[in-house]
Amino acid sequence: MKPLLQLTFFFFIVLCLISSSESQNSVRRGGNFIRKYNLVKCPEQAQFIYRQVCNYLQSFYVRTPDDGLLSYLRGAMQEAANRIIKSILYPNDKTVNIWMVKRCMRNFQDQIDFYNNKALKEYRKCNKKCPADAGMRFTVELEKVAFRYANCIKKRREMQ
């Protein structure tokens, strides 16, 4: 009998630990978010490196609780993509390849996540009534990040 009682007690403790960690995670997350990919629109006529870079930029995602905030986050992603794509458009005798771009942008998703989390916190703080404010801050910060990556791409091209 004693081993059965110990086993029952053990399972009870495990069940309590699992349920409390799940509730802690849901509180930390603040709700369910949807990952949205393919936020960057690629022009139909894009070819070669432009198409490769645009497709690469479509692989990044943002998390959002609803479409209200998503529209602002999508706009920020498109602006950042435009800045990065412009850095490979300048006519030059030195070409850019996709590996140069990927090397410069190796932590882009981390940067997106960091500023995305800030926007989500701000959005929750105002009870989802300020998507424009949260989205604009995300846009400004992501634009700075894109500017740094564009400069990195330009420098790599010059080093060739």
Interval 13-29: pLDDT, tens: 545 555 443 333 333 34
Place of tokens 């998503």: 70
Q: Mean pLDDT score of the chain, rounded to an integer?
A: 84
> Looking at per-residue confidence, does 89 or 115 come out higher?
115
pLDDT of residue 91: 62
pLDDT one-digit tens code per residue, 134-152: 999 999 999 999 999 999 9
What is the spatial distance between Cα 69 and Cα 134, in angstroms, rounded to a whole number?
Answer: 8
| Residue 89 pLDDT | 77
Mean pLDDT, rounded, for 99-116:
96
